[in-house]
Amino acid sequence: MTQELARTRTDQPVPRTTNWWRDAVIYQVYVRSFADGDGDGIGDLPGARARLPHLAELGVDAVWLTPFYGSPQADGGYDVADYRVVDPLFGNLADAQALVYEAHRLGLRVIVDIVPNHTSDQHAWFRAALAGGEERARYHFRPGRGAEGELPPNDWESVFGGPAWTRTADGDWYLHLFAAEQPDLNWEHPAVHKEFESILRFWLDLGVDGFRIDVAHGMIKADGMPDIGRREQAKMIGAQVLPFFDQDGVHEIHRSWRRLLDSYDGERIGVAEAWAPSAERLALYVRPDELHQAFNFQFLTCAWDASAMRQVIDSSLAATTSVGATTTWVLSNHDVVRHTTRYGGGEQGLRRARAAALLTLALPGSAYVYQGEELGLPEVDLPDSVRQDPAFFRGDGQEGLRDGCRVPLPWSGDSAPYGFGRGGSWLPQPDGWKALSVAAQSGEPGSTLELYRSAITLRKQLTGLGDGEMEWLESPVGTLVFRRSGVVCTLNALADAVELPTPGRLALSSVELTPAADVVRLPAESCAWWTV
Ligand code: NOJ
Ligand code: MG
């Protein structure tokens, strides 16, 4: 396809409601593991497009696609060598355009991932930089310390483990907060701003509805790049402001991107993947002139404990409300252990995961669903021999490796690759996934897939869910009960049943429930919605 054609705007029959993102349910497609169209064992854009009806049936409002751009795949595509092409692994630009078109036809918006903190080391700029070109100033090159410059310029560590600096043949070092194949861009350089503005326009012109902004908290580094003076810095991320994360300067970039998004019709949005030490600092990313959403990782990292959850809910809502935004509930994504497993695994983990889904879908704000959580998929325990996460090869920087949550989805059939594609699957799927496939769970009362379908559909039908107010009601320790305008949500986080006065008419429950007229026994680790 020619550049010209790629830039043609697609038809957009998507209904334009105001502020759609405030309570949108957004489904994350990890492209490589969603559906394989060409039988090479790797998920791709044509595969994803063919499976869009699954998302329409689930009832979500939008889909977020992880990076599918030209990339050597040193970090699952988060190492981009060319931001304006589709990697042949995943298809081509015409496939991207067809996917956007088809999604819009089905009433789904499309958000793509943008990776501005770093490029691939194979990006034309970085290659020119290594060859000594002026592009060098677009990255962070520094002489080393020590008599021969043999020590890194400072003590910063890569999020994936080891030093955040790699020495080049000419003796200088370059900064990479992630893998060595992901050199950090220098956002003090005007060419970097200009280039990303052009990249954003390229995809907006192609018709996408917004961007998930990778490492949105990392683009600006503290002046002078001071030492931190402590090791194990990955553990400090999200706990404090670091000289390379959550610097105030990043907000200027987000403001300029907001102006760009607003210059397009159709309410295009920006979503920050930002790790900030507090709900208040996270809320800075969603001030009215900045981005629309920021992932709420405080909830993702919260233990299975009613009072801890209530605290996170309160502080998240207070912080986002103070800047006029809504919050964004996230239980899983492609970087963390799947929550069925985090919540204890097995039957207990699944019970809690189902309850957590109903809880978050009843809270004010927007909710993200990571592919496969609607099937109740557990984390897969993979042998080291098949692991591909760069964090695995770089040592102990990142707790928890990220391959076990990226195993390709089971769609149908009795054995691997369970309808993922005609070929195999790039990571092995477990033997027992037959019962978890989309086909096996469809129409099966009580299945996790049907629970998600009902919850997302009901959320639209019942008054008072989605955006708006909530009010806590008194309830026994270990439980959470709150009212939205027409719905009460009850969560029993305890390992034992708890009795409550029946709050209303049962609308949906994560386990089987038989309420009496006046009192209901809420089973252990369950959540229910009641209309009032
Ligand atoms: C966050 C992405 O979600 C993750 O997968 C990636 O490794 C890092 N950013 C670096 O781009
Ligand atoms: Mg493929």
At residue 74, does pLDDT exceed 60? yes
What pLDDT is attached to residue 463? 81
Rounded mean pLDDT, 265-285 = 96
Residue whose Cα lies nearest atom 6 of ligand 1: it is 78
Instruction: Order across the sheet with 210-213: list the strands.
Output: 293-294, 269-272, 210-213, 109-114, 62-65, 25-29, 366-370, 328-330
At residue 8, does pLDDT exceed 80? no
Choose among 481, 490, 394: nearest CA to 157.
Answer: 394
Mutate to test the pocket of ligand 1, among 65, 178, 237, 244 (most ligand atoms within 8 A of CB): 178
Does residue 196 lie in a domain region?
no
178 lines ligand 1 (CB under 6 A): yes
Residue whose Cα lies nearest atom 5 of ligand 1: it is 335
246 lines ligand 1 (CB under 6 A): no
78 lines ligand 1 (CB under 6 A): yes
Name the helix (H) or strand (E) containing 328.
strand 328-330
Does residue 323 lie in a domain region?
no
Residue whose token pair is 């695995």: 392
257: its two tokens: 């991107």
Residue whose Cα lies nearest atom 3 of ligand 1: it is 335
* Identified catalytic residue from 87, 209, 214, 246: 214
219 lines ligand 1 (CB under 6 A): no
259: exposed, middle or buried (Cβ count in 10 Å: 0-12, 13-18, 19+): exposed
Rounded mean pLDDT, 180-194 = 98
Reply yes or no on whether 273 is catalytic. Answer: yes
What CATH number should be reported for the domain holding residue 477? 2.60.40.1180
Does residue 524 lie in a domain region?
yes
CB atoms within 10 A of CB 322: 12
What pLDDT is attached to residue 6? 34
**Confidence at 16, pLDDT banded by 50, 70, 90:** low
Choose among 52, 64, 13, 48: nearest CA to 367.
Answer: 64
181 lines ligand 1 (CB under 6 A): no
Residue range of the domain that includes 147: 124-175
Q: Give the least confident one: 15-29, 157-171, 283-297, 410-424.
A: 15-29
Does residue 288 lie in a domain region?
no
Query: How crowded is the C-beta side of 455, counted as CA atoms within 13 Å?
Result: 28
What atom of ligand 1 comes closest to residue 273's alpha carbon?
1
At residue 163, does pLDDT exceed 80? yes
* d(CA 519, ligand 2 centre) in Å: 53
Rounded mean pLDDT, 442-470 = 95
Rounded mean pLDDT, 298-312 = 96
237: its two tokens: 């991320």
273 lines ligand 1 (CB under 6 A): yes
Task: State the pTM of this model.
Answer: 0.96
Rounded mean pLDDT, 289-299 = 96
The residue out of 159, 175, 191 marking a domain boundary is 175
pLDDT in tens, 472-514: 999 999 999 999 999 999 999 999 999 999 999 999 999 999 9
Give the helix ranges, DSSP H, for 211-345. Answer: 250-262, 279-283, 297-300, 306-322, 339-342
* d(CA 51, ligand 1 centre) in Å: 25
CB atoms within 10 A of CB 92: 16
The residue out of 108, 141, 175 marking a domain boundary is 175
389: its two tokens: 């996460």
Does residue 430 lie in a domain region?
no
389 lines ligand 1 (CB under 6 A): no
Rounded mean pLDDT, 268-292 = 96
The residue out of 175, 210, 242 marking a domain boundary is 175
Mutate to test the pocket of ligand 1, among 335, 370, 401, 402 (most ligand atoms within 8 A of CB): 335
Does residue 477 lie in a domain region?
yes
527 or 232, higher pLDDT: 527
Number of domains making up the chain: 2
75 lines ligand 1 (CB under 6 A): yes
At residue 397, does pLDDT exceed 60? no
* d(CA 34, ligand 2 centre) in Å: 10
**Confidence at 528, pLDDT banded by 50, 70, 90:** very high
408 or 393, higher pLDDT: 408
The closest ligand to the CA of 421 turns out to be 2
Instruction: Look up residue 254 and give its amino acid.
Output: H
**Confidence at 109, pLDDT banded by 50, 70, 90:** very high
Instruction: Look up residue 30 and give its amino acid.
Output: Y
Reply yes or no on whether 214 is catalytic. Answer: yes
95: its two tokens: 């496939």
Kindly write down the DSSP assignment for every residue of 472-506, as one continuous string. EE---TTEEEEE-SSEEEEEE-SSS-EEEE--SEE
Does residue 488 lie in a domain region?
yes
Does residue 159 lie in a domain region?
yes
Sign of CA dihedral 392, 377, 370, 196: positive
Rounded mean pLDDT, 388-405 = 78
What CATH number should be reported for the domain holding residue 148? 3.90.400.10
Kindly write down the DSSP assignment for every residue of 214-250, as one continuous string. TTTT-S---TT------S-GGGGBTTB-BTTBS-TTH
